[in-house]
Structures are given as C-alpha cells and as structure tokens.
Amino acid sequence: MLAKVRSAAFLALIFSATVGFWPNAAKAQSTNSPSGPDPREIPLPSIKSKIGALPGVNDLPVRVDLPDALMMNNGQQITTVKQWKKRREEIKRILEYYAIGQMPPPPGNVKGREIKSQLVLDGTVKYRLVHLTFGPRGKLGLDIGIFTPTNGPGPFPAVIMPGGTPPGAAPLPTLAHPPGQGKGVDALLPVIPVTPSTNDVASSSSSTNQAAGRRGPRLDNTDPEAVAGRNRELFRRGYAYVVFNNNDCAEDTTLRIDDGNWAFRTTRFYPVYPGYDWGVLAGWAWGVSRIVDYLETDPSMDKTRLIISGVSRTGKSALIAAAFDDRLAMAAPCVTGGGGIGAYRFSGAGRGGKEGLADMMKKYPNWFSPHLHEFWGHVDQLPFDEHWFLALVAPRPFIALEGLTDQVSLENAVKQSWLGAQPAYALFGVTDHLGVNYANHGHAFTPEDMKALLDFADLHLRGIKTDRQFNQFPSDKAP
C-alpha cells in the first residue's frame, strides 16, 4: 500500500513538473466553467486496471492551451523520430487512463471461418460472410462482411466501416436503452436493475444496427446486393469493403445494473476481461483490431493499405483504432462531434458551442474512461486533448471528413486539433499526410465523403495524383 501511495505521489510530481513547462499553466482556480455534474449522480463502481493510478483533477494544473504532444512527461522536447516512439507510449498510457479506458492486449488467436459467399452486382463483386473467433479459449466472436472486386486478382486495399449486422449474419440479442438515452438526461442519475441481457434481437436495419450518422430512410443492410450497390464507386476504383456491427463488440447503452455498473459490461467482449475499464468506444476500436488480425491473413486483402472510417460515434472509435493500431494505414473519421477530432478546450458551452466535454459526460459517459467524468467543469485541467489521437496516427495519412452544416462538429475545435497534431507529422516531413475535407452536408456520411476518402487514399497510399487540396477549412475561404 505504501508503495502505491509513493507511486501516485511520484506521478503527480512528474505531471506537475511537466506542466511547469507549459505556458499559461496555473493551479486549479481558473477560467474553468462552474458547471459540473449533478451532485445526485450515483457513481460507477471502481475498476482497478493494470495502468495503476494517475493524478486526479485536483492534482493537475490549469492549462488553457493545448498540451504539447511533443513534450515528454519530464518536460523534454521531442525533436527526433526515435524520441517520438518513446513519447507515443506515454501518450497512449495517458489517453487510456483519462480518455477511453484501458483495453485488453491483442488475444493472438483470431481465426476466421467463411460462412457463405456469393457474387453480386452482376458478378463484379464477391461477398463473403466470415465469422471470427478469438479471446480466452476462443469464447469471443464477431461476424464481418467482406466485399471484393472481381475485375482483378488483388490483393486489394480495403475500407473498414461499421455498417450494421453484415448481410446473412444472425443479429445478436441486445440490451434495452433507457428512455432518456441521448436526449440530454444525465446518464448517471438513475440505476435501473436489469438482467444481463434481454431476449430482444435487433434486426440489421434497426436503429441500433443502423450505420451511425446516416440520416433519412433506413438503409437495407440485410441484402449484400443493396450494400454493394451503395458502394459501386469504391469497387470501381479497386478497393475492398469490410463491414461489421460495432454493437457486436460493445453495446451502446447507458443502462446500469443493480450494483451501479454499466450493463454493457455484462455482454459482448467485456465479461472475459474484467480487469479493464475500457468504455464502449474502446470496445469498438478493439474490435476493429481483431478484424485487422484476420485481414492480415486473407490473401485478397492488401494488409499494408487498410483504411478505417466511421461516422459520428463510430468515427470517434475509428480515431481511437487508428491511434492505437499502427497496422491501419489510414484513418478517415467523419463528423465525429464531441469526444472526436475536435479539441475539448475549443468546444462546448462557453468555448465556441456545439458538443463539448460536459455534453459527453452527461449523455454518453459509457463511451469513455470512468476517469474522464471528473473533468466535467474542469476542461482546462485535462492533461491531454483530442489532437493527441491525431498525433499518434503520424506519419500515416489521416483525413477529417466534415460537414459544412453539421450541428455537432465545431470547425474551430477541429482546426485546433488539426494544427496541434501537425508537429508530429512535421517530425516525419509529411505534414501533407494530415488532411481535412468539408462537404456540403450536415451530420452524415455522403458519397462526397467517400470520394474524398478515396482521393486521399489514392494520393497517399497508391501514388495517384489529384488536383484536390486537403488543407482547407471553411473559414480559410472567408474574405
């Protein structure tokens, strides 16, 4: 116990020393918003992870500027790629502890079994349904759908994207959603006793399984012909398409069980990893890495050109997946909103508007590390910000796909993260690998976004020239 106390004290000293090098650092009386969590909230039970304890909000100084991604915890400035490799490990530990929760290590035993295959789009595309197994004693599973062009031998670069239950797969039973979920109700106020799961099964076209961020009529995800038909351009340009249901990895519910814990920890990947405090977004990202485990063994896939994308909440998890898995050659999250690409320090009430940390902690605390909640009302004391996720992707290509009329992603918050990550890309001399594209839409993923994704991938992964620029924000064009 004494050793743990000394360790925690030492870590606090290191963090305090580090922020001493930050300009505008001050102790905890600051410009922080007085708003915070409802005192009636019922706290979550503690999960002791292997990371140990890092300083809490009361031990951290105020830092109104973005924390420098290129500064070691001891205050040393990073100037070489070799030093950056060490700094990356520090950043990942901090982000797991404060932002997303600790994820389990790779299981090392992913296997895939083809369930069915068929030709679609008049024989120009082949669809395969593959069931993956992995984890302790192979207990875990995940269905993925793989679409590959037939007009060439491959291997093909591939876009991995959450898109509902893959065609032909059996939808899994799902937990209920509290009536106030996502509607501005504080998710930590009620505790609703439930059984670990229900007998309800969500169909592939239900709201639970619908690709996040899409608006309008529900898309048909049950028919491989329909899914392939929506992605003709992708196949025409020589890419494969891999789909999965993110809710088969972690259930997106704020339901709680009678001990106060999240009900999602009783299903999917979570019961076999009880010593990890990973939130829902980390569960989805970890699932993407298991898909990569399999795709590396699939001869039709170009394992050096795997791209991860996602929309809204699944865009946030795509950001995490790319930051923590170097095998993903490119990341292209779309309209990620609060807790995504945009910096917390530049979003939310009093910080430019739209979704901020307070909104995330009130409506969706299940997505994140349980340690992030204490920074509600103390954003300037965060020892990180979202640009660190972008920096971890360097030097691999990264493009932020945004909507001109999106009501949850704030341009300045995205731009500040984009600028804050540039020094990491500059270390490698590839600042052009960090891109952004604004399309004429709101909170959605459209064909314009897919075209930007493919153009950016063609440029940086395949050496195909384009006349497009990927460094323009809407405000840059204003007089």
Query: What's the rounded mean pLDDT across residues 234-257?
Result: 97
Q: Give the chain's end-to-end CA distance (angstroms, integer).
A: 61
**Is the model's pLDDT at 449 over the cut of 60?**
yes
115/346 Cα distance (integer angstroms): 47
19: β partners: none
407 vs 416, higher pLDDT: 416
CA torsion angle 148 133 243 128 (round to 10): 30
Sign of CA dihedral 76, 77, 80, 82: positive
Query: In this model, does residue 4 exceed pLDDT 50?
Result: no
DSSP category for residue 457:
H
What pLDDT is attached to residue 288?
Answer: 99
pLDDT band at 7 (very low <50, low <70, confident <90, very high): very low
What is the pLDDT, as a whole number, of residue 430? 98
Q: pLDDT digits over 202-226, tens only?
A: 433 333 233 334 444 567 788 999 9
Q: What is the pLDDT of residues 318-345, one digit of tens each?
A: 999 999 999 999 999 999 999 999 999 9
Q: How many C-beta neighbours within 10 Å does residue 396 have?
A: 21
Confidence of residue 31 (pLDDT cuts 50, 70, 90): very low
Residue 155, preceding bond cis, omega within 30 degrees? yes
Residue 120 DSSP SS3: strand
- Expressed in percent and rounded to 5, the helix, strand and coil fractions of the chain are 30, 15, 50
Given a cut of 50, whether residue 198 has pLDDT beyond it is no
Query: How many angstroms separate the Cα of 278 from the Cα of each of 264, 281, 301, 369?
Result: 11, 8, 29, 6
pLDDT at position 190, please? 65
Please give the DSSP secondary-structure letter assigned to residue 472. Answer: -
d(CA 368, CA 343): 15
Do the Cβ atoms of 340 and 321 come closer than 8 Å? no
Residue that wins the pLDDT comparison between 36 and 368: 368
- What single letter denotes the amino acid at residue 180? G
* pLDDT for residue 199: 41
CA-CA distance, 49 to 455, in Å (whole number)?
Answer: 41
CA distances from 214 to 28, 219, 362, 374 (A): 41, 9, 23, 32
Element at 4 (helix H, strand E): helix 2-19
* Beta-strand pair 125-134/111-120: antiparallel
How far is it, in rounded angstroms, from Cα 330 to Cα 41?
Answer: 40
Report residue 220 CA to chain centroid gap. 25
Other CB atoms within a 10 A radius of the CB of residue 223 amount to 14
Residue 264 near residue 175 (C-beta atoms within 8 A) = yes
Determine the pLDDT at residue 217.
Answer: 55
Q: Is the pLDDT reported for residue 431 higher than 80?
A: yes
Two tokens, residue 72:
């070691």
Amino acid 182: pLDDT: 87
pLDDT above 50 for 11: no
pLDDT surpasses 70 at 238? yes
Question: Which of 435, 419, 415, 420 has its CA nearest to residue 382?
Answer: 420
pTM for the whole structure = 0.90
**DSSP assignment string, 190-211:** ------S--S-B--TTSTTTSP
- Taking 80 as the threshold, does the pLDDT of residue 200 lie above it? no
- Residue 220 has a pLDDT of 78
- Measured distance CA(301)–CA(148) in Å, rounded: 9
| pLDDT digit string, tens, across residues 114-166 | 999 999 999 999 999 999 999 999 999 999 999 999 998 899 999 999 989 99
Cβ atoms < 10 Å from Cβ of 16: 15
Q: Residue 64 carries which side chain, given as an amino acid letter?
A: V
Per the CB < 8 A criterion, the answer to whether 37 and 373 are in contact is: yes
Q: Are strands 140-149 and 240-244 parallel, antiparallel or unpaired?
A: antiparallel
Q: Phi, psi at residue 281, to the nearest 5°?
A: -60, -40
